[in-house]
Structure 1
Amino acid sequence: MSVRRRIVLAAMALMLVAGCSSNNATTSGSHNAWVEDEVTFVADGLTIHGTYRHQHGDQKGPAALLISESGRTDRNGDNNVAGPIGNMRQLAEYLSNHGVASLRYDKVGTGKTGLGPYADHPADVGSAVYTTGAKSAVRFLAGQAATDKDHLSVYTLGEGTVHAMTLADDTSAGAPKIHSLGLLQPLAGRYLDLITNRVKADMAAAVKGGQKTQAQADQVIAAWNAAVTEARTKGTVPAKLPESLSAILFPGNVKAVVEADAIDPLNLAARIPAGTPVLVTCSDTDGQANCADIKPFTDALAHTSLSVVALKGVNHVLRDDPTDNVGNYAKPGPLSPQLTVALDGFVGQ
């Protein structure tokens, strides 16, 4: 894969909302059957559609909110970059096999939710909109008759971890208490810093492989660094960027990117209530959540009841694939057994 394609795909993957009707029962003919209800709830004028997976009846039990990866990723973990991934649907099924109800939902711009009131100004959809959606989702889940409010958890992937940590620190009126957090392959630093690190790594690989001279690589890095500075200080982007970096940062997305970049996950991690059970996973082959890079993030979580699981050969969408190639994300396969073993020891906490 070319250096240009690696940078663009990695960044796109990193960027990658009441009434209900009953759908499938996973176990028929039993009062303990698991059913999936199509549900809706409203977040600041946006009607969000989701799936509430729970046991038939109102018997109380633990419940978990599932928040998908960054950007326009739907309730099942599918997005328009990588295709039908389905990892969040698989996570919901795993949780129900362990007695945990779940809510997963189509984020703004995806699935049945769509853009709603943002249809005429999609550039205004940024991190704050996603956080508002997550806050409405967790309140909806907490309000279900079968939800044990003392065992309400959040499981999330990638940039979704930012919104999950915000829920754990939410002390506003009516905000439910979050019992535990599953932060899977988390966004462990500021957004543009992570992209910068990826650009530098790809340029170093290009020099080593003979595709670029050191001078050419330095020129690309300098242009990107200048673009980051301009975005952060002025909220604008240069007219032209090399190596298709303009597909990562451009006038149509700069507002949302700068808004996301302003959030420091380390600060959010430090504000999670002490003693909260937290599971963090990373992988030696995940270009976005590599175990070698997340120590500052886990250090910020030292006051919690923290479990860190280092996966081997697992890609960013939680499957066994050491290539971590975005082109492979939609290939059918189970969640990595390494992940499910880690969850086995965490879900009951």
Structure 2
Amino acid sequence: MKAVLGVIVSAVLLLAGCSSGDQDRWVDEDVSFVDTGLTIHGTYRHRPDAAPGPAALLISESGNTDRNGDNAVAGPVGNMRQLAELLSERGVASLRYDKIGTGQTGLGPYAQRPTDVVSAVYTSGAKAAVRYLAAQPGTDGDRISVYALGEGTVHAMALAADTGADAPKIGALGLFQPLPGRYLDMITNRVRATGDPAALDAWLAAVDQVRATGTAPDTLPEGLGALLNAGNVNAVVEADKIDPVALAATVPAGTRVLLTCSDADGQARCDDVEPLIDALGHTALTVVELTGVNHVLRDDASDNVANYANQEPLSPQVVDALDGFVGK
């Protein structure tokens, strides 16, 4: 009973001040939903009591990145919060959430087996999130979109291709700086670009070992050991099984898709994403080539991780791309 009263009181406090002709005010409501025993926490940005309208699910970058795009490596990036605010300015409600092990979302049933947290777990969480969003009274089921950054775009495309009986129809995808290829192949390209033949030979041998046996080498050159080791090899194996190009081919024909790439983003250069663009040719695809925009969608030609949390606004180029896409 106390729990029920607490929910009622919270709802009353949330809506206070919104019922006197102030229904156009957007609120960030803390919400939660459950996915196979895991309670996932997030922020539902919407207008209380609004008629059903467009709504978007936002999926952050890979790994330990929370609902706002913040993580332990780059700090308080905040780009996904900014994206939610931009969408609300254009009349689109949104849900962004703390992925497993980030923010308020714990490990739940994975607490005793954290190495089992692999790509499929993140996709499952995304599916639970979009179903929660679709069930909200302010969501028009025919106007649901998904916006994702980096590796999050893999999960976004999986949602669009989901044929489950209770799967919401995804009418539009925003794929910002998408993962252009298999995980280990992308790292191989970066190692090759360093021009260090010894490091490349060691890494290529490691890739062969991972794909053949599912195990990681005991030692790797400095820097590479953080990308592949006994502690994360399960996650690496599962991530590497996913081919974004093959997944793109499963997105339903006619789906509206916005894809961005940048000459300054080492993870999503426009030349690198061409196979992905080709695979999305059957969709209603808009490709926007950004100039001098870093991986977290801000103007910074250096794409230095140290600048990711500078709290600058999202690039005007990204805003323009969003305007052209949402307005269609």
TM-score interval, smaller chain: over 0.9
Q: Does 1:327 align with 2:306?
A: yes
Q: 2:241 aligns with which of 251, 259, 262?
A: 262
Question: What TM-score do the two structures reach when normalised by structure 2?
Answer: 0.94
Q: Residue 86 of structure 1 aligns to which amino acid in structure 2? A: G
In the other structure, the counterpart of 1:162 is 154
Structure 2: 5+ residue stretches without partners: none
Q: 1:276 aligns with which of 255, 277, 294?
A: 255
In the other structure, the counterpart of 2:324 is 345
Cα drift, residue 58 of structure 1: 3.8
The DSSP-based 3-state class of the residue aligned with 1:346 is: helix
Q: Residue 131 of structure 2 aligns to which amino acid in structure 1? A: R
Q: Does 1:48 align with 2:40?
A: yes
Q: Residue 112 of structure 2 aligns to which amino acid in structure 1? A: D
Superposed CA deviations along residues 11-50 of structure 1, whole A, max 9, x for unmatched, are: xxxxxxx96945878x966121111111110011100000
Cα drift, residue 243 of structure 1: 2.5
Give the length in aligned residue pairs. Answer: 318
CA distance in 2, matches of 1:264, 1:294: 12
CA RMSD of aligned residues (A): 1.6
CA distance in 1, matches of 2:193, 2:307: 21
Cα drift, residue 59 of structure 1: 1.1
What are the residue-to-residue correspondences of 1:78-117 with 2, within 5 Å? 78-117=70-109
The DSSP-based 3-state class of the residue aligned with 1:293 is: coil
Q: Does 1:235 align with 2:227?
A: no
Identity of aligned residues (%): 65
CA pair 183-24 structure 1, distance change in 2 beyond 3 A? farther
Q: 2:178 aligns with which of 182, 186, 192?
A: 186
Q: 1:151 aligns with which of 115, 138, 143?
A: 143
Q: Does 1:288 align with 2:267?
A: yes
Deviating runs (4+, > 3 A) in structure 1? Answer: 18-25
Contact 2:68/2:78, CA 8 A, preserved across alignment: yes
Contact 2:23/2:50, CA 8 A, preserved across alignment: no
Contact 1:69/1:158, CA 8 A, preserved across alignment: yes
Q: Residue 319 of structure 1 aligns to which amino acid in structure 2? A: R
In the other structure, the counterpart of 1:127 is 119
CA distance in 2, matches of 1:329, 1:35: 26
Q: Residue 61 of structure 1 aligns to which amino acid in structure 2? A: G
Q: Residue 299 of structure 1 aligns to which amino acid in structure 2? A: D
Contact 2:297/2:315, CA 8 A, preserved across alignment: yes
Contact 1:24/1:36, CA 8 A, preserved across alignment: no
Structure 1: 5+ residue stretches without partners: 1-17, 205-216
Q: Does 1:199 align with 2:194?
A: no
CA distance in 1, matches of 2:321, 2:78: 20
The DSSP-based 3-state class of the residue aligned with 1:136 is: helix
Superposed CA deviations along residues 102-145 of structure 1, whole A, max 9, x for unmatched, are: 00000001011021121111111010000000000000000001
Q: Residue 127 of structure 2 aligns to which amino acid in structure 1? A: K
CA distance in 1, matches of 2:224, 2:28: 41
In the other structure, the counterpart of 1:250 is 229
CA distance in 2, matches of 1:272, 1:332: 34
